[in-house]
Chain A
Protein backbone atom coordinates (compact mmCIF):
# COMPACT_ATOMS: atom_id res chain seq x y z
CA UNK A 1 0.00 0.00 0.00
CA UNK A 2 1.34 3.42 -0.92
CA UNK A 3 1.91 5.75 1.99
CA UNK A 4 -0.12 8.83 1.09
CA UNK A 5 -0.15 12.21 2.77
CA UNK A 6 -3.73 11.68 3.77
CA UNK A 7 -2.74 8.46 5.53
CA UNK A 8 0.08 10.20 7.42
CA UNK A 9 -2.28 12.99 8.49
CA UNK A 10 -4.85 10.38 9.55
CA UNK A 11 -2.35 8.43 11.65
CA UNK A 12 -1.00 11.56 13.34
CA UNK A 13 -4.48 12.89 14.10
CA UNK A 14 -5.54 9.57 15.57
CA UNK A 15 -2.51 9.40 17.82
CA UNK A 16 -1.93 13.04 18.74
CA UNK A 17 -5.35 14.60 18.55
CA UNK A 18 -4.95 16.34 21.92
CA UNK A 19 -1.83 18.14 20.63
CA UNK A 20 -3.81 19.65 17.74
CA UNK A 21 -1.11 19.18 15.12
CA UNK A 22 -1.19 21.66 12.26
CA UNK A 23 -0.86 20.47 8.67
CA UNK A 24 0.07 22.37 5.54
CA UNK A 25 1.56 21.48 2.19
CA UNK A 26 3.92 24.19 0.92
CA UNK A 27 5.40 23.17 -2.45
CA UNK A 28 3.71 19.78 -2.23
CA UNK A 29 5.57 18.59 0.84
CA UNK A 30 3.66 17.78 3.98
CA UNK A 31 4.48 19.96 6.99
CA UNK A 32 3.41 19.04 10.49
CA UNK A 33 3.49 21.60 13.29
CA UNK A 34 3.40 20.30 16.85
CA UNK A 35 4.00 21.89 20.27
CA UNK A 36 7.71 22.10 21.14
CA UNK A 37 7.44 19.82 24.17
CA UNK A 38 5.97 17.01 22.03
CA UNK A 39 8.62 16.96 19.32
CA UNK A 40 10.31 13.76 20.56
CA UNK A 41 7.01 11.94 21.09
CA UNK A 42 5.91 12.66 17.55
CA UNK A 43 9.30 11.86 16.07
CA UNK A 44 9.49 8.59 17.95
CA UNK A 45 6.01 7.67 16.75
CA UNK A 46 6.95 8.48 13.15
CA UNK A 47 10.11 6.42 13.57
CA UNK A 48 8.65 3.35 15.25
CA UNK A 49 5.39 2.84 13.35
CA UNK A 50 5.74 0.04 10.82
CA UNK A 51 3.55 1.92 8.41
CA UNK A 52 5.27 5.32 8.69
CA UNK A 53 8.96 4.40 9.07
CA UNK A 54 10.42 7.93 9.02
CA UNK A 55 13.85 6.70 10.02
CA UNK A 56 16.18 9.15 8.33
CA UNK A 57 16.81 12.72 9.44
CA UNK A 58 17.72 14.62 6.28
CA UNK A 59 18.11 18.04 7.79
CA UNK A 60 17.60 19.99 10.95
CA UNK A 61 17.66 23.75 11.04
CA UNK A 62 15.82 26.77 12.40
CA UNK A 63 14.07 29.87 11.07
CA UNK A 64 13.73 33.20 12.79
CA UNK A 65 10.40 35.04 12.44
CA UNK A 66 10.88 38.26 14.41
CA UNK A 67 7.29 39.39 13.77
CA UNK A 68 5.64 36.32 15.36
CA UNK A 69 5.35 37.25 19.02
CA UNK A 70 5.85 34.29 21.35
CA UNK A 71 6.95 31.89 18.61
CA UNK A 72 9.86 33.71 17.04
CA UNK A 73 12.05 30.68 16.46
CA UNK A 74 10.97 27.67 14.44
CA UNK A 75 12.97 24.45 14.51
CA UNK A 76 12.46 22.40 11.36
CA UNK A 77 13.15 18.68 11.03
CA UNK A 78 13.18 17.08 7.61
CA UNK A 79 12.34 13.40 7.93
CA UNK A 80 12.56 10.82 5.19
CA UNK A 81 10.92 7.44 4.82
CA UNK A 82 13.53 5.72 2.69
CA UNK A 83 11.39 2.63 2.00
CA UNK A 84 8.43 4.44 0.47
CA UNK A 85 10.46 7.54 -0.49
CA UNK A 86 8.18 9.93 1.37
CA UNK A 87 9.42 13.12 2.96
CA UNK A 88 7.92 15.00 5.88
CA UNK A 89 8.65 18.31 7.53
CA UNK A 90 8.19 18.59 11.28
CA UNK A 91 8.09 22.05 12.84
CA UNK A 92 8.10 23.27 16.39
CA UNK A 93 7.90 26.91 17.47
CA UNK A 94 9.58 28.35 20.54
CA UNK A 95 9.78 31.89 21.97
CA UNK A 96 13.09 33.68 21.49
CA UNK A 97 13.35 34.40 25.23
CA UNK A 98 13.32 30.71 26.09
CA UNK A 99 14.36 28.69 23.03
CA UNK A 100 14.32 25.27 24.67
CA UNK A 101 13.78 22.19 22.52
CA UNK A 102 14.43 18.57 23.44
CA UNK A 103 17.35 17.03 21.59
CA UNK A 104 16.72 14.51 18.83
CA UNK A 105 20.09 12.82 19.31
CA UNK A 106 18.52 9.88 21.16
CA UNK A 107 16.51 8.99 18.07
CA UNK A 108 18.89 10.13 15.33
CA UNK A 109 22.62 10.10 16.13
CA UNK A 110 23.11 12.32 13.09
CA UNK A 111 21.21 15.12 14.81
CA UNK A 112 24.24 15.81 17.00
CA UNK A 113 26.17 18.13 14.68
CA UNK A 114 23.02 19.53 13.08
CA UNK A 115 21.79 20.63 16.49
CA UNK A 116 25.17 22.13 17.25
CA UNK A 117 24.95 24.10 14.02
CA UNK A 118 21.41 25.23 14.82
CA UNK A 119 22.58 26.30 18.27
CA UNK A 120 25.54 28.09 16.71
CA UNK A 121 23.46 30.18 14.32
CA UNK A 122 20.10 30.56 16.09
CA UNK A 123 20.83 29.89 19.74
CA UNK A 124 18.32 27.08 20.12
CA UNK A 125 18.98 25.39 23.45
CA UNK A 126 18.72 21.65 22.79
CA UNK A 127 17.96 20.10 26.17
CA UNK A 128 19.85 16.86 26.71
CA UNK A 129 22.32 17.35 23.88
CA UNK A 130 25.63 15.60 24.77
CA UNK A 131 27.91 18.44 23.66
CA UNK A 132 26.15 21.69 22.80
CA UNK A 133 29.01 23.93 21.62
CA UNK A 134 29.52 26.14 18.60
CA UNK A 135 30.58 24.11 15.59
CA UNK A 136 31.18 26.47 12.65
CA UNK A 137 31.74 29.94 14.05
CA UNK A 138 34.62 31.07 16.23
CA UNK A 139 34.25 30.07 19.87
CA UNK A 140 34.52 33.70 21.01
CA UNK A 141 31.43 34.77 19.07
CA UNK A 142 28.94 36.25 21.53
CA UNK A 143 25.79 36.33 19.41
CA UNK A 144 23.77 34.12 17.08
CA UNK A 145 24.42 35.53 13.62
CA UNK A 146 21.39 34.16 11.74
CA UNK A 147 18.91 35.86 14.02
CA UNK A 148 17.49 38.77 12.13
CA UNK A 149 18.25 41.50 14.62
CA UNK A 150 21.93 41.20 13.62
CA UNK A 151 23.23 42.68 10.40
CA UNK A 152 24.80 40.39 7.85
CA UNK A 153 27.90 42.58 7.61
CA UNK A 154 30.79 42.36 9.99
CA UNK A 155 29.80 44.74 12.81
CA UNK A 156 33.42 45.52 13.72
CA UNK A 157 34.25 46.99 10.36
CA UNK A 158 34.73 50.77 10.39
CA UNK A 159 36.16 51.61 6.96
CA UNK A 160 33.01 50.93 4.97
CA UNK A 161 30.86 54.02 5.40
CA UNK A 162 27.58 54.59 3.63
CA UNK A 163 28.94 57.46 1.60
CA UNK A 164 31.50 55.27 -0.14
CA UNK A 165 29.12 52.47 -0.91
CA UNK A 166 26.05 54.47 -1.90
CA UNK A 167 23.85 53.08 0.83
Chain B
Protein backbone atom coordinates (compact mmCIF):
# COMPACT_ATOMS: atom_id res chain seq x y z
CA UNK B 1 0.00 0.00 0.00
CA UNK B 2 1.48 3.36 -0.93
CA UNK B 3 2.10 5.73 1.92
CA UNK B 4 -0.15 8.79 1.78
CA UNK B 5 2.61 11.22 2.71
CA UNK B 6 5.94 11.20 1.00
CA UNK B 7 8.79 12.28 3.21
CA UNK B 8 12.18 13.42 2.10
CA UNK B 9 12.80 11.04 -0.68
CA UNK B 10 15.72 11.93 -2.83
CA UNK B 11 13.84 13.64 -5.62
CA UNK B 12 12.42 16.21 -3.19
CA UNK B 13 15.68 17.25 -1.63
CA UNK B 14 17.34 20.06 -3.53
CA UNK B 15 21.07 19.78 -3.47
CA UNK B 16 23.39 22.63 -4.32
CA UNK B 17 25.20 22.38 -7.61
CA UNK B 18 28.71 21.08 -7.64
CA UNK B 19 31.38 23.66 -8.30
CA UNK B 20 33.07 23.60 -11.67
CA UNK B 21 36.15 21.46 -11.85
CA UNK B 22 37.91 18.49 -13.37
CA UNK B 23 36.57 15.14 -12.38
CA UNK B 24 37.81 11.66 -12.96
CA UNK B 25 37.81 8.28 -11.39
CA UNK B 26 38.03 8.91 -7.65
CA UNK B 27 39.15 12.55 -7.77
CA UNK B 28 37.89 16.01 -8.35
CA UNK B 29 39.99 19.11 -8.84
CA UNK B 30 38.55 22.56 -8.30
CA UNK B 31 39.58 25.81 -6.69
CA UNK B 32 39.61 26.12 -2.94
CA UNK B 33 37.69 29.39 -3.15
CA UNK B 34 34.69 27.67 -4.65
CA UNK B 35 34.57 24.83 -2.15
CA UNK B 36 34.96 27.08 0.85
CA UNK B 37 32.45 29.55 -0.59
CA UNK B 38 29.97 26.74 -1.15
CA UNK B 39 30.36 25.50 2.40
CA UNK B 40 30.15 28.95 3.94
CA UNK B 41 27.17 30.20 2.02
CA UNK B 42 25.04 27.19 2.84
CA UNK B 43 25.80 27.13 6.54
CA UNK B 44 25.50 30.74 7.65
CA UNK B 45 24.78 30.91 11.35
CA UNK B 46 22.56 33.88 12.10
CA UNK B 47 22.88 36.11 15.12
CA UNK B 48 19.61 38.00 15.50
CA UNK B 49 20.02 41.48 16.96
CA UNK B 50 16.33 42.34 17.09
CA UNK B 51 15.26 45.54 18.82
CA UNK B 52 11.76 46.16 17.48
CA UNK B 53 9.08 45.24 14.94
CA UNK B 54 11.48 43.99 12.26
CA UNK B 55 12.48 41.38 14.82
CA UNK B 56 8.91 40.05 14.79
CA UNK B 57 9.13 39.63 11.03
CA UNK B 58 12.43 37.88 11.49
CA UNK B 59 10.77 35.47 13.93
CA UNK B 60 8.24 34.68 11.21
CA UNK B 61 11.13 34.13 8.83
CA UNK B 62 12.61 31.58 11.20
CA UNK B 63 9.23 29.91 11.76
CA UNK B 64 7.78 26.96 9.90
CA UNK B 65 5.95 28.92 7.18
CA UNK B 66 8.97 30.68 5.73
CA UNK B 67 11.66 28.55 7.33
CA UNK B 68 15.06 30.09 6.92
CA UNK B 69 16.47 26.68 7.85
CA UNK B 70 15.89 25.59 4.25
CA UNK B 71 18.83 27.78 3.27
CA UNK B 72 21.28 26.35 5.74
CA UNK B 73 20.69 28.90 8.51
CA UNK B 74 19.22 26.37 10.84
CA UNK B 75 20.86 27.25 14.06
CA UNK B 76 20.82 30.63 15.69
CA UNK B 77 23.71 31.15 18.01
CA UNK B 78 23.00 33.65 20.73
CA UNK B 79 26.64 34.38 21.15
CA UNK B 80 28.45 36.46 18.56
CA UNK B 81 31.54 34.26 18.83
CA UNK B 82 29.84 31.37 17.05
CA UNK B 83 28.01 33.29 14.35
CA UNK B 84 28.77 34.40 10.79
CA UNK B 85 25.81 36.58 9.96
CA UNK B 86 24.68 39.49 12.12
CA UNK B 87 21.05 40.34 11.42
CA UNK B 88 20.23 43.78 12.77
CA UNK B 89 16.46 44.09 12.84
CA UNK B 90 15.06 47.26 14.30
CA UNK B 91 15.75 50.80 15.44
CA UNK B 92 19.18 51.30 16.92
CA UNK B 93 19.28 54.21 19.35
CA UNK B 94 22.54 56.09 19.66
CA UNK B 95 22.93 54.65 23.12
CA UNK B 96 22.69 51.15 21.64
CA UNK B 97 25.34 51.81 18.97
CA UNK B 98 28.40 50.92 21.12
CA UNK B 99 26.73 47.67 22.13
CA UNK B 100 26.06 46.76 18.50
CA UNK B 101 29.65 47.59 17.66
CA UNK B 102 30.87 45.44 20.53
CA UNK B 103 28.77 42.51 19.28
CA UNK B 104 30.25 42.95 15.80
CA UNK B 105 33.79 43.04 17.18
CA UNK B 106 33.15 39.83 19.12
CA UNK B 107 32.26 37.96 15.95
CA UNK B 108 35.08 36.00 14.35
CA UNK B 109 36.11 36.59 10.74
CA UNK B 110 34.63 35.98 8.25
CA UNK B 111 31.53 37.88 9.34
CA UNK B 112 28.68 39.46 7.47
CA UNK B 113 26.01 41.97 8.40
CA UNK B 114 22.45 42.33 7.11
CA UNK B 115 20.55 45.52 7.96
CA UNK B 116 16.89 44.50 8.07
CA UNK B 117 14.34 47.26 7.62
CA UNK B 118 14.35 51.01 7.18
CA UNK B 119 15.52 51.83 10.71
CA UNK B 120 18.61 49.66 10.65
CA UNK B 121 19.42 50.84 7.12
CA UNK B 122 18.88 54.59 7.49
CA UNK B 123 17.15 55.44 10.75
CA UNK B 124 13.79 55.18 8.99
CA UNK B 125 11.09 57.49 10.23
CA UNK B 126 13.09 58.23 13.37
CA UNK B 127 15.04 61.18 12.05
CA UNK B 128 15.74 62.28 15.58
CA UNK B 129 18.53 63.33 17.92
CA UNK B 130 18.44 60.00 19.74
CA UNK B 131 18.41 57.47 16.89
CA UNK B 132 21.39 56.21 14.92
CA UNK B 133 20.82 57.13 11.27
CA UNK B 134 21.69 53.72 9.87
CA UNK B 135 23.92 51.07 11.41
CA UNK B 136 26.50 51.63 8.68
CA UNK B 137 27.64 54.59 10.77
CA UNK B 138 29.17 52.16 13.26
CA UNK B 139 29.70 48.83 11.45
CA UNK B 140 30.11 47.83 7.79
CA UNK B 141 26.95 46.39 6.21
CA UNK B 142 26.81 43.83 3.39
CA UNK B 143 23.11 43.71 2.52
CA UNK B 144 20.31 46.20 3.19
CA UNK B 145 16.72 44.93 3.24
CA UNK B 146 14.18 47.72 2.63
CA UNK B 147 10.73 47.80 4.17
CA UNK B 148 9.03 49.04 7.30
CA UNK B 149 9.06 46.26 8.35
CA UNK B 150 10.07 44.02 5.43
CA UNK B 151 8.01 40.91 4.87
CA UNK B 152 9.64 37.55 5.57
CA UNK B 153 10.05 37.09 1.82
CA UNK B 154 12.09 40.29 1.80
CA UNK B 155 14.32 39.05 4.59
CA UNK B 156 14.75 35.72 2.77
CA UNK B 157 15.66 37.59 -0.39
CA UNK B 158 18.24 39.62 1.51
CA UNK B 159 19.79 36.49 2.96
CA UNK B 160 19.89 34.88 -0.50
CA UNK B 161 21.64 38.02 -1.77
CA UNK B 162 24.11 37.66 1.06
CA UNK B 163 24.65 34.01 0.15
CA UNK B 164 25.65 35.17 -3.33
CA UNK B 165 28.21 37.52 -1.79
CA UNK B 166 29.51 34.83 0.54
CA UNK B 167 29.76 32.19 -2.17
CA UNK B 168 31.73 34.48 -4.49
CA UNK B 169 33.99 36.02 -1.90
CA UNK B 170 37.69 35.60 -2.46
CA UNK B 171 39.51 33.81 0.32
CA UNK B 172 42.04 36.62 0.38
CA UNK B 173 39.48 39.40 0.82
CA UNK B 174 39.62 39.47 4.61
CA UNK B 175 43.37 39.94 4.65
CA UNK B 176 43.44 42.50 1.85
CA UNK B 177 44.47 46.10 2.40
CA UNK B 178 41.14 47.25 1.05
CA UNK B 179 39.25 45.33 3.73
CA UNK B 180 41.60 46.46 6.46
CA UNK B 181 41.08 50.04 5.41
CA UNK B 182 37.34 49.51 5.50
CA UNK B 183 37.49 48.26 9.07
CA UNK B 184 39.96 50.97 10.03
CA UNK B 185 37.43 53.47 8.67
CA UNK B 186 35.09 52.23 11.38
CA UNK B 187 37.83 52.20 14.00
CA UNK B 188 37.78 48.40 14.24
CA UNK B 189 41.04 46.49 14.30
Partner-B contacts on A (CB < 8 A): 136-138, 141, 145, 150, 152-157, 159-160
Contacts and interface: CB of A to CB of B under 8 A. Distances in A.
B127 A154 contact: yes
Given A137-B95, A138-B95, A154-B123, A145 B130 contact: yes
29 contacts: A136-B95, A137-B94, A137-B95, A137-B129, A137-B130, A138-B94, A138-B95, A141-B129, A145-B129, A145-B130, A150-B129, A152-B127, A152-B128, A152-B129, A153-B128, A153-B129, A154-B123, A154-B127, A154-B128, A154-B129, A154-B131, A154-B133, A155-B129, A156-B133, A157-B123, A157-B127, A157-B133, A159-B122, A160-B127
Interface residues of B, number: 10
Contacts of A136: 95, 130
Given A154-B128, A154-B133, 9 more contacts: A137-B129, A141-B129, A152-B128, A153-B127, A153-B129, A154-B131, A156-B133, A157-B123, A157-B133
Interface in B59-114: 94-95
Contacts of B127: 152-154, 157, 160
Nearest to B93: A138
Binding site of A, secondary structure by majority: helix, strand, loop or mixed?
Answer: loop
Interface of B: 94-95, 122-123, 127-131, 133
A160 B124 CA distance: 11
A37 to B, nearest CB: 32
Contacts of A159: 122
Contacts of A156: 133
Contacts of B129: 137, 141, 145, 150, 152-155
A160 B127 CA distance: 10
A152 B127 CA distance: 8
Contacts of A153: 127-129
A167 to B, nearest CB: 11
